[in-house]
Amino acid sequence: MPGMVLFGRRWAIASDDLVFPGLFELFLRVPCEIGILTLYLMHRAKRDCADGVSYLVSSYLISLIILLAVVICTVAAIVCVSMKGTICNPGPRKSMTKLLYIRLALFLPEMLWASLGAAWIAHGIRCDKTVENGIEITVIVRTQIWWSVTLQQVLPFSVSNRTISGITRSPAWAGLDSNTPAPICRSRTTEYDLIGGDPLNCHFGSILQTTGLQYRDFIHISFHDKVYELPFLVALDHRKESVVVAVRGTMSLQDILTDLSAESEVLDIQCEVQDCWAHKGISQAARYVYRRLINDGILSQAFSIAPEYQLVIVGHSLGGGAAALLAIMLRASYPQVRGYAFSPPRGLLSKSLYEYSKNFIVSVVLGKDVIPRLSVTNLEDLKKRILRVIANCNKPKYKILLQGCRYELFGVPDNSPTELDGDNQGDLTQPLLGEQSLLTHWSPAYSFSSDSPLDSPPKYPPLFPPGRIIHLEEEDTSGRFGWCSTAQYSAKWSHEAEFSKILIGPKMLTDHVPDVLMRALDSVVSDTAACISCPAQEVPNVDVA
């Protein structure tokens, strides 16, 4: 849907985007109108001032009531017109431009009238005659004008002020109260290698509290964070007899820039695999950690303490992708290395590297998490599907948003007929909304398919997630109530083809949060009936314990 044209230019807002802003304005305007009208009717018998003051006040209030009524009717008409039509059928909303011009034209007299009332309050209106109960008419006059000006001007600003005042506390202390133990902070010099972090070592204290390890178990901790350079730590897990290298995921602007470096580059490793391509930003980050581990002797120090331990590489999100590539790089020197990537990005490895990594890397994906389905080619596919669905949509935008909110809060799906039912399925295979120019002509990553007129090969080769994939699926979503639900999950082995499309849903982002993933893993592990169903064919020898 193109933006509306006002004052000779096109704006980044469509004619069907004004339903909820208009309802919010009505929510403020209608109580204001009712309040001023009530005050006028209650005190009209007490306005008998000399020198024409009573007449001026009455004229002011009546004009204000009429002006507000016109504004309310105009906004209500804007809301009603904005509800008409569909996303790609703006015909029923052709009168929206005129209504907006009327609404903007009412803005100037409204502000002048409110400024006049504010000036009267500032200078005061005197009247010597009093009523029976001895109350001065000045009080009544000022009260009426004060109410009118306050309800028009102060109320919207109070809402904005509440929004500004509602800024949460620092994430490091969010959720802490008097009953929550303070993080473990140390300021003394420690025996392990520590790079970066806060002066009191509270960041490291949170790691101790989360992992349950002791100070002597850590070999190296680095909070150094730049583009292509990720924080990581090396520790000894005596219970599993492992040297653990953990790489941190996306938590800063530098990490986001690393994620966005999504071009492919050749991965120079010592193995027999051909066509070793990988995500450029993540491979650079993995190479940085590799140099630190090998050149600085960090791994040598760890294995000098525990030579019989095995090497385990773990990470989440961006850290999961870097951990997988790091495990591939260290495979030649440490044949027993194991990699565990939690919610890694899909666009990571070439097909040959993906097959090679199945022997020693396991990925864990929760539900409809968008990151394990995210790649350049998948984004292009999502763009095509969104444009086609929008072009065939038979519902207005506000209904789609309300249905999404209802599903998020109450878990009630929309079972009414949609644009994808019946005969409309065939329409989705045709180029729509200028798809030729929007997608295929200008996009170098557009993958060739039967319905694509592009004959040249794509610029970006398709990339795949690392290793074998354990998919945690929610067993039953019916009857849930938003965040209050206690979801149950089951685990199964899945093929990478199940993550070849980006799924749109209310949990596509929340399923990527580490806390949600950990709760799902705890639910599967604690459930004695849960099991991992392995396919009968080609089961690599991978330790998932």
**Catalytic sites, residue numbers:** 317, 369
DSSP SS3 for 534: coil
DSSP letter at 412 equals: -
**C-alpha torsion sign, points 191, 192, 196, 197:** negative
CA distance 229 to 236: 23
DSSP SS3 for 173: coil
DSSP letter at 473 equals: E
Strand segments (E) across 88-197: 193-195
Structure tokens at 383: 């763009």
CA distance 440 to 444: 8
State how far the alpha carbon of 393 is from the alpha carbons of 28, 198, 249, 387, 399, in Å: 32, 52, 37, 10, 11
State how far the alpha carbon of 59 is from the alpha carbons of 37, 66, 125, 159, 308, in Å: 13, 11, 15, 30, 93
State how far the alpha carbon of 541 is from the alpha carbons of 196, 239, 307, 361, in Å: 39, 22, 23, 11
CA distance 63 to 145: 12
Contacts of 499 (CB under 8 A, 6+ apart): 346, 365, 372, 373, 465, 469
